[in-house]
Structure 1
Amino acid sequence: MDRCFTVMILLFFGFTLGSCSEEREFHYINILKTWNEARQYCQEKYTDLAKIESREDISRLSSPFSYSWVWIGLRDDPQSWKNTMGTDANSWRWSTTGETGKTDYHKWSPGEPNYGDAREMCVVMTSTGEWADRTCSLHRNFICFIITETNEKEFVYISVQETWSSGMTYCRTYYRDLAMIKNEAENTEAKRANPTTAEVWIGLYRVPWIWFDKSQTLFQPWLSHSFNNNGGKQHCGTENNLHQWADENCEYKKGFICHQVLKKTTAVKMTTVKIKSVTNIKWTDPAINSQILQQLGTLLTRQGWTDIKLRWKSLPSKNHKEECTKSHV
């Protein structure tokens, strides 16, 4: 039978979200509107309220402000964290998973959480077994948990005064993590583990402030004395002439900044695969091509590639190497 050694070329292209970049321009709008009204205006006329991620973005804000403070697209939406366990990027999450929306159970004290003074982002269990948000740098005793050999969750009280993050490190070193509480029965067990009437850290926390597209902000030029959640009602972001930020009541009317995406580009990663076949398979058969591309696509997706595009490349005959030899069976 004829046996052919065939060298084929397969190209595949992968795209990742992290490689996307946008070219944007900013527009100052000298009209007084609430945050929601401003966002609606920007969505109708441009792309959205301004998303400012760097000093480079600030350098594009050349227009002078007629007002001292204007809206930008930053918000700490209380509907996703106040008296609930939401799924937005600024919602509550357990330290064990680091992910929002993993459990709907909560046990907030009346009036909690309240993000007091724009500082309270970590959670304690009070003497009543209810929860409240507190400043993460406070020193408190804490409750860890472990999973026993019989797959039972066991809560352990630690009589050491630590900040929330230090308590988490201690629990991860000697147990599993700070207490993760998923239902009423577990909350009762965690409360029973505390022999005192003092409040103790548990593993609930959140990272406040997200952009309109649900992404978190790493660039944060907050003006310290104007960042305080005054009255518990300041959940929208503003910027001043010096490009400093402050929180403000979303219902106030202010000028605002829109941004418009002019061009979005995505870096492409291209990989060439050479396949040497020692078989009588006809590689140019469309059915064979389709099956191989499908299997490779599944494999690459499992390896973390996103938006994969696969195709065969037809080479000129001088580059297409095919050597046939005779063999006898």
Structure 2
Amino acid sequence: MQWIQFVLILMGQCSFFTCHLYEYHFIQEEKTWDEAQSYCREHFTDLATVSDMRDLERLTNPSQTTDAWIGLRSINERAIKEWHWSLPGEKLKFICYNETGQQKYFFIDESKNWLQAQSYCREHHTDLVSGLEQINSDEFKERVEEFNDQDISNKFLWIGLFREIWSWSDGKNFSFRHWDPDSFEDVASKKCAMTTSNGKWSSDICTDQKPFYCYDDKVILIKEKKTWDEALDYCRENHRVLVSITDSHQQRWVEKRAKMADTEFVWLGMRYTCTLDLSFRVSDRSVCKPNLAPKKKTVRCDSDLAVAMKRDGKWYKKAVSEKFNFICVK
């Protein structure tokens, strides 16, 4: 019997390279941070949340260089202190990493405070080394050994882990920050974050009036149980498309919706085919790597299958006749 090979079916009008799951809006009207939050929640989704450098590039408009509120606000330091990957203090040497290229990790033999180190890595590489997978890698350990071989008394290095006292307005736990290393003055009274003319972030008194950035979420979790074809038709008729995930950035965004589903799985806009003698090859600009769960047994091509995301973010092959919640893009 023919083995299953899968192809990704893009539904609707958007392409791999232009379809965004959320949009940013610059509002020139000046408001306090709380007023800006209320405005964004009434007209869009919330004040802008930024999850990585790509978001930052989309958010920042060169013609809009004025200070503007974003959805990051200081929280009660005694109530929550969480560590995240990716604050100022003493000066240490550090290790940067690159997402691409043969060499991934770079020991930087310069002493900087944490924010300066982060800025250096983002300018010359990708970021400070972050995550257990990177820290446990052999190449990272080699860079640490290079550092340890130096005849210096201070054997500490910066990595991308920080203690969090800031929270996003929409409740998302994205750890991305883009602070200006020179902006932390009188921070006790400056509890709300804003963009600045140099593209980095600073903070100010929340009752000051400024323009602001909202975002409009295009991803909608539909808490109705439907087959894959029914879900596809529903999204086309009522919104735009059944969501397709084309990179790890979108994977994170959609995964947060899947956690709120009433069913164990949610349908995605991807379907297997048993009739085409094709295998789907993923390019660097489409899906980095399908987030398929490990195979437990061989699946033969005896039914129509589509891709569903479990609440843990993994993708599974499911018969299109099963009924799950699903995610549309409007």
- Superposition TM-score tier, normalisation by shorter sequence: 0.3 to 0.5
Q: Which has the higher strand share?
A: 1
TM-score normalised by structure 2 residue count:
0.39
Structure number with the bigger relative contact order (C-alpha 8 A, sep ≥ 6) is 1
Q: Flag the structure with larger Rg.
A: 1
